[in-house]
Every structure is written in structure tokens, then in C-alpha cells.
């Protein structure tokens, strides 16, 4: 009897123990499933909700780094900036920025047709830099950048990259060849990053144009708009077909040469994204207006009523076209004004007003920092080796743009 009772107690204890273990196991499975469900629900957020909920309000460009090239080959340090480390991203995050655009030029690392195989070491380096941004707590954008670079001097057009509107519009063979390479390159990029979460966004290309920077005759450029509309559809289809998290990844669609007036025009068409029931697309423009003040540095004053009215009208048109009623976020993927000695206060006023107006209209401005401080287009703000503002004036500019954008939070 004693043995029987003891055995019964042991059996009861065993049953209770297994019941508890099974309960914990199923409870764990339910928790895991709930977490997965929650993650899946997170990916179902539309792009505007994502920007608002994640507080993506102001950003910074890692310019002239992974996008730098020489003699047709992308080389990280060839334009004078140091090799990228995590320090720069830690500094950018600490300054109040929420997103970084990491321009990437792929040429020189792409094999021959028909596979157009991207060099694995280069992909790994891009992934390493993206990892720096993510570890710092930043959202990240990668793109195809100077692969579409073109220069024009008089009537002489020089193609620096393979992603050429001119090649595509001149012949059927050219169109098919460029489109095939574009599709293959994006398929490989998307496949490589397929398991990366929502924080990583893809941008189709940079400032594609025929050499006239978007200011040529509309009759001449109209066929090019149609090519770009086709290519952005190819881009979306390639990414969505690459598996993993790419089906719901947020994708960025630039207008012709990223010029605002072309992006709000009727000939700009957003691609279809049939795999998603909510919007996962983002529109991109660039803003360096007026050119003489922002890039050339030949104009020293800014801030008249006309200057401000131009900003207001441009940003209002973008907001009305995409955000109001459509809930499509708009990023100003590049923006800035070069340093001009003796006119630091005017530059500061420019950023306070332009970034403030962008934020007011719901646009997300991303500053173009090319790391230049003493020659050329001096857009530099951060010392990339230290990850800190380059100077007190740089610090003031950084603080002004972050504060103008709600302190780095969505309004």
C-alpha cells in the first residue's frame, strides 16, 4: 500500500509537472505567435503612419562616401572622406536626427550581362555601414546613386554611369539593356537585404536626367518621364519579388531629377504596388533653391518675402499632391546650403525657415553633408572621424534644423 501510495504520488507529481510544462510550452508558443502577429501587424502600417509613429522628422546624408567613384569604379574614400565607422552615426543620432540616407554607387562592382552579378564584398560593406546606422538607432535609406550620373557641357553629353536615360530613349536595344540591368541590380540588393526589418528603406535611384538637370524643354523630356515611370514600376516589382521582408518594405520613388515641379506634375506616376493593401511608398524630391545661394555660393543674401513665398508654395504643392488625402509621405532626400564666409547668420536663417516650413507641411528634410569644409561645395557639418560637429557654426546649424523639425519628433 505504501509503495502504491508513493507511486501514485509520484505519478500525480509527474502528471502535474508535465501539465505545467506543457502549459508553459503552449503559453510560450502563444506568446511567440502573439509577438509574430504583432510584428506582422507592424509591417502592415502604411508609410505615413510609420513615419509618424517612429518619429521620423529630420535626416542626414552620408554623402561622398559609398557613392564616391573614380574612373567608373565606386571607391569609398576616393573623394577625400575617411573610411566610415560607427562613430559618425552615433554622433548623428545624438544630434537629434532620426534617419540617414546612405547613397551607394554600385558601378565597378557589377559583372557582365546577363547576370550583372554584384561583388559580394561590396554588398557586405554596404550591409556593414547599414548596421552602424541601425545600431545607433537610426532608420536608413540605400539607393542607386551615381550609376545614373551624366554631365553636359554645351552640346556634349558625358555619361558617367550605366543607368542612362539617354541610352534608354535612343534605341529599343538600349532601353532593354539598361532596364534589364536595373532590374537585376535591384533584385540582388533586395535579396541580400531581404531579412532586414522596416528600418531599412530602398530608394529607386538618385537624380536621373538627360544632362539638363530637369530644366530642358518639356517636349524633349516627356518621353523620359515615361521611362522613369516604367523603371520605378520595375523597381517595385523587383523588390517585392525578392522574398523575405521585401514584400512590405517601404520604397522611395523620386521624380524626374528629383525636382519638385516635375514630381507634382501630372506626368509623374506612382508605380502600382499590388502586393500591399496599404500604402508602402514614399515620394522623394531634392531642394536646393535658390541654386545661386544654396550650391553656387554666388548669392549671399536670402530671406526676402519672395524667397519665403517660393518655399511655402513648393512645399504646399507637395503636401497637397501626396500627403493630403493620399497619406503618402514626402522626403526632401537632399537639401542644404553651402558655407559662405561672413554670411553664417543668413545660412542659419535659411535652415530655420526652410526646415521649419518643411516640418509644418509634413515633409521630412534630409540634409546633404558631403564632408567638404575647405573647398568645392562646402556642405560639411560633421567631422566624420570624430562623429561630432565640425565647428561651433556647424553645431548651430545642426541645432537649428533639428529644432525647426520639432526637436527631431513628428508634429
DSSP secondary structure code for residue 161 in this structure? S
Q: Is 218 a catalytic residue?
A: no
List the grid coordinates of 375.
573647398
Out of 207, 218, 341, 344, the active site residue is 207
Separation CA 264–CA 239 (nearest Å): 25
Q: Tell me phi and psi for residue 339, to 5 degrees.
A: -70, 135
Of 105, 106, 103, 102, nearest in space to 89 by CA: 102
DSSP sequence for 55-87: T---EEEETTSTT-EETTEE-TTTTSPPPP-HH
Please check whether residue 141 is in contact with residue 203, taking contact to mean a CB–CB distance below 8 angstroms: yes
Of 206, 196, 275, nearest in space to 238 by CA: 275
Out of 53, 334, 377, 399, the active site residue is 334
How close are the terminal C-alpha atoms of the chain, in Å? 76
Q: Is 334 a catalytic residue?
A: yes
> Would you tell me how many other CB atoms lie within 10 Å of the CB of residue 33?
10
Please check whether residue 330 is in contact with residue 282, taking contact to mean a CB–CB distance below 8 angstroms: yes
Q: Cell 550609376 belongs to which residue?
A: 147
List the grid coordinates of 13.
507529481
Which of the residues are catalytic?
Answer: 207, 334
Amino acid at each position: 500500500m505504501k509503495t502504491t501510495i508513493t507511486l501514485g504520488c509520484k505519478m500525480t507529481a509527474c502528471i502535474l509537472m508535465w501539465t505545467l510544462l506543457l502549459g508553459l510550452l503552449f503559453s510560450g508558443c502563444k506568446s511567440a505567435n502573439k509577438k509574430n502577429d504583432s510584428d506582422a501587424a507592424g509591417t502592415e502600417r502604411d508609410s505615413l503612419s510609420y513615419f509618424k509613429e517612429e518619429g521620423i522628422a529630420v535626416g542626414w546624408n552620408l554623402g561622398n562616401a559609398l557613392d564616391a567613384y573614380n574612373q567608373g569604379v565606386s571607391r569609398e574614400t576616393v573623394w577625400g572622406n575617411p573610411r566610415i565607422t560607427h562613430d559618425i552615426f552615433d554622433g548623428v543620432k545624438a544630434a537629434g536626427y532620426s534617419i540617414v540616407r546612405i547613397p551607394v554607387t554600385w558601378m565597378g562592382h557589377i559583372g557582365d550581362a546577363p547576370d550583372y552579378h554584384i561583388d559580394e564584398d561590396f554588398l557586405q560593406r554596404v550591409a556593414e555601414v547599414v548596421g552602424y546606422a541601425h545600431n545607433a538607432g537610426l532608420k536608413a535609406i540605400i539607393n542607386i546613386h551615381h550609376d545614373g550620373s551624366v554631365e553636359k557641357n554645351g552640346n556634349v553629353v558625358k555619361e558617367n554611369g550605366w543607368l542612362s536615360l539617354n541610352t534608354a530613349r535612343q534605341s529599343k536595344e538600349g532601353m532593354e539593356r539598361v532596364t534589364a540591368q536595373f532590374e537585376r541590380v535591384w533584385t540582388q540588393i533586395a535579396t541580400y537585404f531581404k531579412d532586414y526589418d522596416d528600418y531599412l528603406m530602398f530608394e529607386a535611384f538618385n537624380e536621373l536626367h538627360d544632362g539638363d538637370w530637369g530644366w530642358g524643354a518639356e517636349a524633349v523630356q516627356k518621353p523620359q518621364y515615361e521611362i522613369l515611370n516604367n523603371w520605378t514600376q520595375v523597381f517595385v516589382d523587383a523588390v517585392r519579388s525578392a522574398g523575405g521582408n521585401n514584400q512590405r518594405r517601404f520604397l522611395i520613388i523620386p521624380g524626374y531629377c528629383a525636382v519638385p515641379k516635375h514630381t507634382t506634375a501630372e506626368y509623374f506616376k506612382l508605380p502600382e504596388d499590388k502586393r500591399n493593401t496599404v500604402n508602402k511608398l514614399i515620394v522623394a524630391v531634392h531642394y536646393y533653391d535658390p541654386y545661386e545661394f544654396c550650391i553656387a555660393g554666388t548669392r549671399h543674401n536670402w530671406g526676402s518675402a519672395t524667397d519665403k513665398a517660393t518655399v511655402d508654395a513648393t512645399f504646399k504643392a507637395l503636401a497637397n499632391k501626396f500627403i493630403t488625402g493620399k497619406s503618402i509621405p514626402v522626403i526632401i532626400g537632399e537639401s542644404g546650403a553651402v558655407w559662405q564666409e561672413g554670411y553664417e547668420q543668413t545660412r542659419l536663417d535659411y535652415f530655420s525657415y526652410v526646415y521649419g516650413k518643411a516640418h509644418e507641411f509634413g515633409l521630412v528634410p534630409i540634409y546633404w553633408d558631403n564632408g567638404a569644409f575647405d573647398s568645392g561645395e562646402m556642405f560639411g557639418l560633421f567631422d566624420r572621424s570624430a562623429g561630432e560637429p565640425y565647428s561651433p557654426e556647424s553645431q548651430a546649424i545642426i541645432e537649428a534644423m533639428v529644432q525647426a523639425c520639432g526637436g527631431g519628433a513628428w508634429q
